[in-house]
Chains A and B, each alone.
Chain A
Amino acid sequence: MRTRALSILVAFAAAAATACGQPGGGPDVVNVYSARHYDSDRYVYAAFTEATGIRVNLIEADGDLMIERIRADGARSPADVIVTVDAGRLYRAQAAGLFAQEHYGVIAPGVPEHLRDTDGYWVGFAKRARVIVYSRERADASQIANYADLADPRWAGRVCVRSSSNVYNQSLLAALVERMGEEAAEAWARGVANNLARPPQGGDTDQIRAVAAGECDVALVNHYYLARLANSAEAADRAVAASVGLIFPDQDGEGTHVNISGAGVAANAPNPEAARAFIAFLFTEDAQRAFAELTSEYPVLETVTWSNEPLAALGGFREDEMNVARLGERAETAQRIFDRAGWP
């Protein structure tokens, strides 16, 4: 009995192994594990292959699972490049030893210091800002300029925001913890939770729509969701975008909170040269423009010009220049604060 079960297992393992082609080798291939799944990325990958002749092998998966997978694969991992959509995940992957140290000042010259890891484990290539959206009809824009205002009792029952399980809320609170300490950050989270117009539901787009529909007067969202609505082929979406205004918070203080999409060369990369070439390509004018024009993210290179009318219409802003690595360090504290503050 036992031997039979074992033989089934071994047969299964062997079948699985032989069914597997062995990807990963060769100088003309780069294996990318990405937590992003945007059309802009497809465009960039294709452009990279065209420019360099290096084929892109791609696995897209959510950040946490991806980290577990690469960690479990260990030294045998075929990953060359790891891409995530959140600095906290980059930090976590780094803590798990998944990144190699590189000279990103050379690979990606011109990236501001606060958007890359000081030890050279990863580098940000596109930015997203956490902004406040308000109803042009029912909210007085002069009364709201900072994240802190969202906790003001003046907005009781008028704030829409998604669940605190969302990574962008977590990274914002992590930034606030770093900025003003745990206690003040907790008081802020409590204040916002008390001001909610409804229990958190849906995504960022749903919060913007709720403001337009009159369910709440202000909402906390990522900037590109508004740009996307303004870019929509559907008139109703454009009407939603037109009925709300956007505020880049904390312009007189530390600046608006930004998070990054970032990449790094994997620690056990079988094709490190190709990996470096791939990451360098993310900072070409072509790629940086693609992120701005196809995904409405902000390029990290200030020098790049792009044309995306609704994104440009959001206006310029001053961003928080705290190193985004801090977001990862403070992530767990931030989450516990959300739990205690009763922000669902």
Chain B
Amino acid sequence: MALTASAPARERGRLSGLDPAPFAAAAALIAATPLFAVAAVAAFGDWSGGYLTHIAGTRLPVYLWNTLIVALVAAACAGAGGAVSAWIVARCDFPGRKIFEWALVLPLAVPAYVAAYAWLDITQTAGPVQGFLREASADGWTSLVPVVRGPVGAGFVFSFTFYPYVYLLARDAFAGQSADAYDAARTLGHGPVSAFRRAALPLARPAIAAGLALVVMEALADYGAVAHLGAPTLTAGVVRAWSGAGSVADAARLALLLVFIVLLVFGAERMQRRRARASSASGRRRPARRVRLTGWLALAAIGVCVTPLLLGFAIPLARLGWLALHAPVAQGLGQAFLNSVTLAGLAAVLAAVLGLGAAYALRSGRPFAVFAARAAGLGYAAPGAVAAVGVIAILAAMQGWLDQLWSGLGFTHFPILLTGGIGALIFAYLSRFAAAAIGPCESALQRVTPALDGAARTLGAGPTEVSARVHWPLVSGGVATAALLVFVEVIKELPATMILRPFNFDTLAVIAHNYAHDERLGQAAAPSVLLALAALGPMIWVARRIAREPVARTLS
């Protein structure tokens, strides 16, 4: 069921529910306009410097190579770790499973640059591990300590911190899977591993691909971690064109190149989904039964779940916490916590609404709606700082326009859009993270087959009732996942928050960044831990919702 999915043309007429086009249009408008502004900056900016030819002849090949390595390492590790842990949690039973269910999402709450700072600090020659070995006169061993640096190191850091995207989406998919395929494979003599690989995995491929697309986009758009670890990707090139050469236009041009690469990733993911769809139509459903793990198998399962938690969460934060013991505590954390949670909560709810609307638009199959929903996915692709410039440009243009309109009507100036409140920030968040909300909503909505709509309508339910009583119970888990993703994204978000926030308004991410950037890791510890704590509540809530969800049973 989960994958029989989108409606063939002849069935479109039978789909029901809310009219999704306005949501998709709003999502597209919010998400794509800043990017168009960036394109305008790129096109109409100064072309005279010859920076692009200069960079193409010098650093660009290195940027592209690093980008490739970072993306591959991040995708491979996050894909494997995310998918395997998701399957174990969704389909097996072992001690601690209920805790791992939500705890596995925790590393997502650690900003990648914070993890990068901590890991380089731990593993470098001057770090505690090599220092301990030297003190123990085991100098020969120091060369065996893998220093987390360069493109491979950055890829690893991204895989620790972003694998929860894969985990979240794949867990949802595995949980909703019928047991038939897996059981059949077992009956045919495949062991559990082989059955996982040959039967369960292919059915979850669209979800894993969607998660991987998010991982790769995040990794490509990151600046802080790659700059610190000495793995300059294209995003580092974008920032360098801007900060070093002072050319916003050239930065925008390089950013568009990056967006183009991301579009390719997107395209690959789409193709992947389409192919998987064709192969997964299946009729009868049987509720999934968890495989009971005992003894060594249970230990192995716990190991699989604990490892990413250690690498992405416990070890980096423990290192920061250790450093924090000797550092004064950062000021204003309480207010920053409230600010962060408020912003993230607001943005999460709005993004989930937009995402669900866009997902419905995709399902409707109407060309305009589909186009709009796809366009909404673009905002995620640009590096945060460049996206922030796009938002600034849009708001400035709107301000000028409204000022004119207002004075034409005989009033004085229109109130300032940018500085006053959090409206500009919410706009920036939605434009950047709408894509993260669309994915989970879309894959959840694929559970709602047109036949289900038809059945409900035949039984006399109106469109609203179909949405509320048939669709919502099926998609609410996906929508909650979408909201959670956006919540965590927003709580970590940096460049837009920094530049669009009102006066005297700090968030946890801003404080953590200020200290880490100033090489005071110890003082970055408290805000970083609070970040994770702020995300903890929503994570547990979503995990419970999804665990409770009667997906497999309702549809059997």
Residue numbers of A with Cβ under 8 A of B are 1, 4-5, 8-9, 12-13, 15-24, 31, 37-39, 42, 57-66, 68-69, 72-74, 76, 78, 92, 163, 165, 167, 170, 199-206, 209-210, 212-215, 225, 232-234, 240, 331-332, 334-336, 338-340, 344
Contacts and interface: CB of A to CB of B under 8 A. Distances in A.
Interface of B: 21-22, 25-26, 29, 49, 54-55, 58-59, 62, 120-121, 124-126, 130-131, 134, 149-150, 227-230, 232, 236, 239-240, 242-246, 248, 326-327, 331, 368, 385, 388-389, 392-393, 395-396, 398-400, 402-403, 413-424, 426-427, 495, 498-504, 510, 514, 518-519
At the interface, is chain A mostly helix, strand, loop or mixed? helix
Interface centre among B22, B227, B244, B495 (most CB of A within 10 A): B244
Contacts of B29: 5, 8-9
Contacts of B229: 201
B22 A8 contact: yes
B324 to A, nearest CB: 11
A134 B397 CA distance: 52
The 8 lowest CB-CB distance pairs between A and B, nearest first, are A20-B420, A16-B423, A209-B126, A335-B244, A213-B126, A72-B396, A57-B503, A201-B230
Contacts of A225: 519
Given A17-B415, A72-B392, A339-B59, A23 B420 contact: yes
A18 B243 contact: no
Contacts of A199: 149-150, 230
A339 B228 CA distance: 18
Contacts of B415: 17-18, 20, 22
Contacts of B518: 37-38
Contacts of B126: 206, 209-210, 212-213, 215, 240
Nearest to B399: A76
Nearest to A57: B503
Contacts of A24: 416, 419
A167 B243 CA distance: 8
Nearest to A20: B420
B124 A202 contact: yes
A156 to B, nearest CB: 18
B227 A165 contact: yes
- Chain A CB count within 10 A is highest, among B240, B385, B499, for B499
A70 to B, nearest CB: 10
Given A63-B243, A339-B54, 12 more contacts: A19-B422, A20-B502, A23-B419, A37-B518, A58-B503, A60-B514, A62-B498, A68-B389, A69-B392, A165-B236, A202-B230, A233-B327
| Chain B interface, DSSP helix/strand/loop, else mixed | helix
Contacts of A203: 228, 519
Contact of A213 (B26, B121, B131, B501): B131
A58 B504 contact: yes
**Which of A163, A170, A339 has its CB near the most chain B CB atoms (within 10 A)?**
A339
Contact of B243 (A16, A64, A338, A339): A64
17 contacts: A16-B421, A17-B423, A37-B518, A57-B503, A65-B499, A72-B392, A73-B399, A74-B400, A78-B416, A165-B243, A200-B230, A206-B121, A210-B126, A232-B326, A233-B326, A233-B327, A338-B244
A8 B501 CA distance: 23
A163 B120 contact: no
Nearest to B228: A202
Contact of B230 (A60, A62, A163, A335): A163
Contact of B519 (A20, A204, A240): A204
Contacts of A210: 124-126
A31 B398 CA distance: 23
Contacts of B62: 344
A1 B19 CA distance: 11
Nearest to A237: B326
